[in-house]
Amino acid sequence: MKVLITGGAGFIGSHLAEQYIKRGDDVYIIDDLSTGSIDNIAHLQGHAHFHYHLDTVTNQRLTAELVDLCDVVFHLAAAVGVKLIVESPVRTIETNIGGTEVVLQQCAKKQKRVLVASTSEVYGKSKQIPFSEEDDLVMGATNKGRWSYACSKAIDEFLAIAYWKEKRVPTVVVRLFNTVGPKQTGRYGMVIPNFVQQALKGEDLTVYGDGQQSRCFTHVSDVVGALMKLIEHPQAVGEVYNIGSTQEVSILQLAERIKTLADSDSEIKFLSYDKAYEEGFEDMHRRVPNIGKIHQLIGYQPTFTLDEILQSVIAHHRNKLTAQRGTPAPSFKA
Ligand code: UDP
């Protein structure tokens, strides 16, 4: 199979590319490295089945050529990370909506199967736990930057479903719930890489708000496995699927667990949302998926426990620190 992955140098895209390469497929990626990193795909470069284009998906000619060449398309290119979204709302909205428009238009020309990655953010401030695909989406006011991400992704979903309904383009939408694992950067504010790096360096772990907000973290391998099954499943077309874990943890408990597993002396400090993001920032208190729909279709069940996830991320960052310093990281307890 020939697989096109937009955002293929990103955290999830690069793990997906690796799995297809391992399976013996041809992988084509487009990535402008705006949030992706060349380090994520360094080990794939030079591989006979790996083809890399340093460009944006809004380059219509290139996207058209690659869509034409490939059998299936994963559209993962997007502006991600709450910090980035709050700091660069124009880029977030334009990248997310403009990029998806181009990809869907090109897929429509050739009737190519395309999976569009959306996010659990679209559930917004909904309190109807767990979140199911048919639930109402509850957005905040438009002067609160965070919601621009959710709205831009909701528009992407509407577009993908509209392309199926109106033009019979085989589209699938997935809502990803806090996907984590090795290689995820903390640069855009994601909590696990941030806490792990702070714990390993002996710095304070910065818990935003009161730490009682909760999330369910999914290992990237579980997500990638689900994406590969969904894109080939005929009944997935025109549908929306949650992909996540149901193991809920508060952010304060998460900080404590990371400290323990990393054997770190760091302290836990609280930082107000206003200081961490912007004045008036609104967080989601709980975010738990209902995964019944995807379980029923492909038997999806997350396989990594939270501890296993954290251990894999700690090991990744320990190795990185050791490589940077040339010696074992000094801030662990003796
Ligand atoms: N968070 C935190 N400290 C950090 C980064 C994030 O306490 O250094 C909190 C953040 O406010 C949110 C949760 O951790 O409540 C998850 O944040 P992340 O950005 O990873 O994902 P989100 O669920 O917000 O998309």
Domains and CATH numbers, the chain: 2-177+219-244+288-298 (3.40.50.720)
Q: What is the CA radius of gyration of the chain?
A: 19
Of 251, 259, 313, the residue with max ligand 1 atoms within 8 A of its CB, to mutate for a pocket test, comes to 251
User: How far does CA 66 lie from the centroid of its chain?
Assistant: 23
User: Using 50, 70 and 90 to split pLDDT, how confident is the model at 333?
Assistant: very low
Report the range of poorest mean pLDDT among 141-145, 175-179, 227-231, 310-314. Answer: 141-145
| Among 62, 112, 81, residue whose Cα is nearest residue 10 | 81
Nearest CA to ligand 1 atom 18: 190
Nearest CA to ligand 1 atom 5: 191
pLDDT of residue 145: 85
Q: Answer whether 251 contacts ligand 1 (Cβ < 6 A).
A: yes
User: Using 50, 70 and 90 to split pLDDT, how confident is the model at 92?
Assistant: confident
Q: Cα angle vertex 278, ends 272, 280, to 5°?
A: 80
Q: Is the pLDDT of residue 82 over 90?
A: no
- Phi and psi at residue 64, in whole multiples of 5°? -60, -45
Nearest CA to ligand 1 atom 17: 191
pLDDT of residue 328: 54
Q: What number does the ligand 1 atom closest to the CA of 283 have?
A: 15
* CA–CA distances in Å: residue 174 to residues 29, 117, 158, 243, 244: 19, 5, 12, 7, 10
User: How far, in Å, from the CA of 190 to the mean position of ligand 1?
Assistant: 6
Report the range of poorest mean pLDDT among 81-85, 145-149, 175-179, 270-274. Answer: 81-85
Q: Is the pLDDT of residue 20 over 50?
A: yes
pLDDT of residue 42: 95
Nearest CA to ligand 1 atom 8: 191
User: How far, in Å, from the CA of 285 to the mean position of ligand 1?
Assistant: 11
User: How far, in Å, from the CA of 191 to the mean position of ligand 1?
Assistant: 5
pLDDT of residue 317: 95
Report the range of poorest mean pLDDT among 28-37, 164-173, 222-231. Answer: 28-37
Q: Is the pLDDT of residue 172 over 70?
A: yes
User: How far, in Å, from the CA of 283 to the mean position of ligand 1?
Assistant: 9
Q: Is the pLDDT of residue 87 over 90?
A: no
